[in-house]
Amino acid sequence: MVRVMTSGVFDILHPGHLFYLEEAKALGDELFVVVATDNTARDRKHEPINLEEMRLRMVQSLKPVDEAFLGYYGDIYKIVLEIKPDIIAIGHDQKHDPEQIVKDLKERGLDVKVVRLERIDHDLNGTRKIIRKVIDWHIFQKKMEEVEQGGKRGDDI
């Protein structure tokens, strides 16, 4: 059995997350997913919209995922040493250095292959893109209301 591990914030689940997890799962037999703590999300990406417990529950429910765990704050390798994966799959946008991960884990007694996964080409492949689209939609709706109320001409939108 080849055990694959991957990680992420998984704040607002979107097609990019599903693609990422499906691609990671295809590398082996079991997929173990580490969900970032709220503090890790704040440090590395952004203030999470969904709390860690909810993000963990959502990831656990996804079909490609065999098991999901909440990571540890401050020590990215602690959970890796517990899971003992054969392969670690990292996302296209994650700032981790695959060679450094291999080296660090070898020093801790683990021989792990690290694979960087491809990016999905989709307009909703990121949490910030989804938020931006919602904001743009909201702005557009407000402008449409103004037009309907006679405040602006339609070609001002």
Residue 100 and residue 132 share a domain: no
Tell me the mean pLDDT in the region 6-20. Answer: 90
Residues 91 and 117: beta-carbon distance below 8 Å = yes
The residues with which 84 forms a beta bridge, in sequence order, are none
Query: What's the confidence (pLDDT) of residue 89?
Result: 96
Count of other CB atoms within 10 angstroms of residue 34: 26
Tell me the mean pLDDT in the region 90-101. Answer: 87
CA–CA gap between residue 39 and residue 18 (Å, rounded): 23
Q: Which domain holds residue 156?
A: 126-157
Residue 147 and residue 101 share a domain: no
- Report the domain count for the chain: 2
Residue 142 and residue 108 share a domain: no
Tell me the mean pLDDT in the region 2-16. Answer: 92
Residue 27 and residue 79 share a domain: yes
**Residue 148's pLDDT band (cuts 50, 70, 90):** confident
Beta strands in the chain (DSSP E): 3-8, 30-35, 67-70, 87-90, 113-116
Residue 98 and residue 54 share a domain: yes
pLDDT, tens digit, for every residue of 16-41?
A: 889 899 999 999 999 999 999 999 99
Residue 156 and residue 85 share a domain: no
Residue 133 and residue 75 share a domain: no
pTM (2 decimals)?
0.79
Residue 60 and residue 132 share a domain: no
Copy the structure tokens of residue 14: 């979107």
Tell me the mean pLDDT in the region 114-118. Answer: 90
Query: What's the confidence (pLDDT) of residue 15?
Result: 84
Residue 129 has pLDDT above 90, yes or no: no
Residue 152 and residue 93 share a domain: no
Query: What's the confidence (pLDDT) of residue 134?
Result: 78
Copy the structure tokens of residue 136: 């743009």
CA–CA gap between residue 118 and residue 16 (Å, rounded): 10
Query: What's the confidence (pLDDT) of residue 94?
Result: 81
Residue 130 and residue 116 share a domain: no
CATH number of the domain encompassing residue 9: 3.40.50.620
CA–CA gap between residue 131 and residue 115 (Å, rounded): 29
Residue 98 and residue 149 share a domain: no
Calculate the CA dihedral of residues 87, 91, 96, 98 and round it to 10 degrees. 40
pLDDT, tens digit, for every residue of 39-58?
A: 999 998 788 999 999 999 99
